[in-house]
Each structure stands twice: as structure tokens, then as C-alpha cells.
């Protein structure tokens, strides 16, 4: 089934931004993350590809400031996707390259003009270095 035009346009927009972006559909399937996100996530999107929610929410290890693993329900993107509201958080994150980073994230739901639930998008950045990898 083809993607809704709004998700295609969101992916296109994200590909032109310097802010790391992570895009999921209404079921939580990872559809895309942009080049600035690749540096923080530890792998190019072309290599990682689309992933179901239960995969990406577990392969990216997320912990609080004390090292305790955070449940999926505490992740801002999961909140935006399931509760249909914006969410924000700061936590430690281990990318696919094994590197740990402290990131700040804001996520919000995507809703089509007709009220269709399209998914959610997250923008995030390294707390230590600022947006992306600067």
C-alpha cells in the first residue's frame, strides 16, 4: 500500500533539514531518518531500513540519567504515537555503533487534514554538541 502524501512530504522535508529527524507511520514502523540522525543513531538509514516498532524501540538502548532502562511507554515518540500528543525528554541513548550519547528529543503526532492518524515524527539532538553533529 502506498504511503499517504503527507508522509512522503514529511520524509522529503526531513531529508533537507540539518535537525536529526525520525519518522514513523501510524503503526510505529520506522519509515525514515535523515542524514543528521544517522550520525547520532550510528548507522545510515539505507543500511538500517524500515523497522517495526518492537524492533527499533529495543535495538536503540535508552536509559535515564542513572542508567536504568526506560520502558517503551516513556519514550517521547511512543507517547506522540500512542497518546496523540507532543512529548519531550532528555535521556541517554546508545546508537547502533555502540556509542552512548545524551540526547534531547521532542516528538509530535502527525495527523492528516481529514483527521487521519498518519504516525509521528521526532526531532532530536545531542545535548553535548547541540543539533546534529556540530
Q: Which of 46, 41, 48, 4 is nearest to 26 (CA)?
A: 4
DSSP class of residue 130 equals B
Assigned CATH topology for domain 5-126: Beta-Lactamase (3.30.450)
Which residues does the chain have with pLDDT short of 50?
133-134
- Check: CB of residue 126 under 8 Å from CB of residue 117: no
What is the structure's pLDDT at 12? Answer: 97
What is the structure's pLDDT at 132? Answer: 60
What is the structure's pLDDT at 64? Answer: 86
What is the structure's pLDDT at 134? Answer: 44
CA–CA separation, 87 and 98 (whole Å): 26
What is the structure's pLDDT at 106? Answer: 97
What is the structure's pLDDT at 103? Answer: 93
This prediction has a pTM of 0.89
**What CA–CA distances, in Å, run from 122 to 59, 67, 68, 80?**
17, 22, 22, 9
Q: What is the DSSP string of 53-98?
A: HHHHHHHSEEE-TTSPBPPGGGSHHHHHHHH-S-EEEEEEEE-TTS
- Check: CB of residue 39 under 8 Å from CB of residue 14: no
CA–CA separation, 51 and 31 (whole Å): 7
What is the structure's pLDDT at 43? Answer: 93
Amino acid at each position: 500500500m502506498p504511503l499517504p502524501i503527507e508522509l512522503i512530504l514529511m520524509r522529503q522535508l526531513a531529508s533537507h533539514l540539518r535537525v536529526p529527524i525520525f519518522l514513523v507511520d501510524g503503526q510505529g514502523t520506522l519509515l525514515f531518518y535523515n542524514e543528521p540522525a544517522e550520525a547520532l543513531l550510528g548507522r545510515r538509514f539505507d543500511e538500517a531500513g524500515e523497522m517495526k516498532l518492537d524492533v527499533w524501540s529495543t535495538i536503540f538502548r535508552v536509559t535515564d540519567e542513572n542508567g536504568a532502562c526506560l520502558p517503551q511507554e516513556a519514550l517521547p515518540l511512543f507517547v506522540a504515537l500512542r497518546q496523540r500528543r507532543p512529548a519531550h525528554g532528555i535521556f541517554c541513548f546508545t546508537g547502533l555503533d555502540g556509542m552512548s550519547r545524551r540526547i534531547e528529543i521532542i516528538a509530535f503526532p502527525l495527523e492528516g487534514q481529514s483527521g487521519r492518524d498518519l504516525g509521528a515524527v521526532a526531532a532530536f539532538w545531542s545535548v553535548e554538541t547541540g543539533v546534529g553533529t556540530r
